[in-house]
């Protein structure tokens, strides 16, 4: 595991799922973690964790992101983990769904990076990790048009940021998970009306025969924060789905 002692890590969507596992993973690696989430009630459950402080944050608000920056100052590691999943084909999709997905899955990352990157540049060092998905430019999935489109954009912005600042000490990478066992997944399964059938279908598309865990993705995020010779790449963790 990376030794992140002395580093400050800012994580969005840190109250549950991959975000929560990452909060715990970064703290275990020695980082001072600032966990943010829009869900104040769930965020309160992190109170008392060593090396962890919490802030309520709506990453779709430029004003609130700026206010957070003024409060906490600069960070060494930024993990953009917030996102949303929409179901449906291009013909099922709506303008509103596309706007919501691009706002939360893409523009929020741009907003966070633009806010905290200057401080990293001033120090000549920084790690940015963006949550993409294997459903993106890596592979297509049925009924994930809006989601896959937005996550492909995350890969593009990741590579662009990495290319622009590779010679100034900044590393920017993207994580592309397959299907991960998280609370939000179970909500989507329940919404299908046939939980067991949907779960079986999700497991079946993972050649390793199981879903990923939030902790496995968190371990990759912690690794990337300390991987000083890795930048501009997508890191697939999908149980063999896209091989």
198 within a domain of the structure (yes/no): no
Domain that includes residue 47, residue range: 8-180+213-237
Give the number of other CB atoms < 10 A from CB of residue 74: 15
* Spatial CB neighbours of 38, under 8 Å, sequence gap ≥ 6: 56, 57, 58, 59
| Nearest alpha carbon to residue 26 among 58, 47, 51 | 51
In a domain, 126, yes or no: yes
Q: How far apart are CA 160 and CA 162, in angstroms?
A: 5
Tell me, yes or no, whether 207 lies in a domain: no
| pTM: predicted TM-score of the whole model, two decimal places | 0.96
User: 201 in a domain, yes or no?
Assistant: no
DSSP string, 187-207: HHHHHTS-HHHHHHHHHHTST
Count: domains in the chain: 1
Given 147, 165, 223, 229, the catalytic residue? 147
Q: The domain that contains 84 carries what CATH number? A: 3.40.50.720
Residuewise pLDDT in 10s, the chain (243 residues): 689 999 999 999 999 999 999 999 999 999 999 999 999 999 999 999 999 999 999 999 999 999 999 999 999 999 999 999 999 999 999 999 999 999 999 999 999 999 999 999 999 999 999 999 999 999 999 999 999 999 999 999 999 999 999 999 999 999 999 999 999 999 988 988 999 999 999 899 899 999 999 999 999 999 999 999 999 999 999 999 999
147 catalytic? Reply is yes
């Amino acid at each position: 595991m990376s030794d992140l002692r002395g580093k400050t890590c800012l994580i969005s969507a840190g109250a549950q799922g991959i975000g929560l596992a990452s909060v715990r993973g970064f703290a275990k690696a020695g980082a001072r973690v600032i966990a943010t989430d829009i869900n104040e009630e769930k965020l309160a459950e992190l109170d008392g964790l060593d090396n962890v402080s919490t802030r309520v944050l709506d990453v779709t608000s430029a004003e609130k992101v700026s206010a957070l920056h003024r409060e906490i100052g600069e960070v060494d590691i930024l993990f953009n983990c917030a996102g949303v999943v929409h179901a449906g084909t291009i013909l099922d999709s709506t303008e509103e769904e596309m706007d919501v997905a691009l706002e939360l899955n893409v523009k929020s990352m741009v907003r966070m990076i633009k806010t905290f990157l200057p401080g990293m540049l001033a120090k000549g060092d920084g790690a940015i990790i963006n949550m993409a998905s294997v459903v993106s430019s890596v592979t297509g999935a049925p009924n994930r048009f809006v989601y896959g489109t937005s996550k492909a954009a995350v890969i593009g912005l990741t590579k662009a940021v990495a290319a622009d600042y590779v010679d100034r000490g900044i590393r920017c990478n993207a994580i592309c998970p397959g299907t991960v066992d998280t609370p939000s997944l179970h909500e989507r399964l329940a919404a299908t009306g046939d939980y067991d059938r949907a779960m079986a279908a999700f497991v079946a598309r993972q050649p390793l025969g199981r879903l990923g865990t939030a902790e496995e993705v968190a371990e990759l995020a912690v690794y990337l924060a300390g991987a000083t010779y890795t930048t501009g790449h997508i890191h697939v963790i999908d149980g063999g789905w896209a091989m």
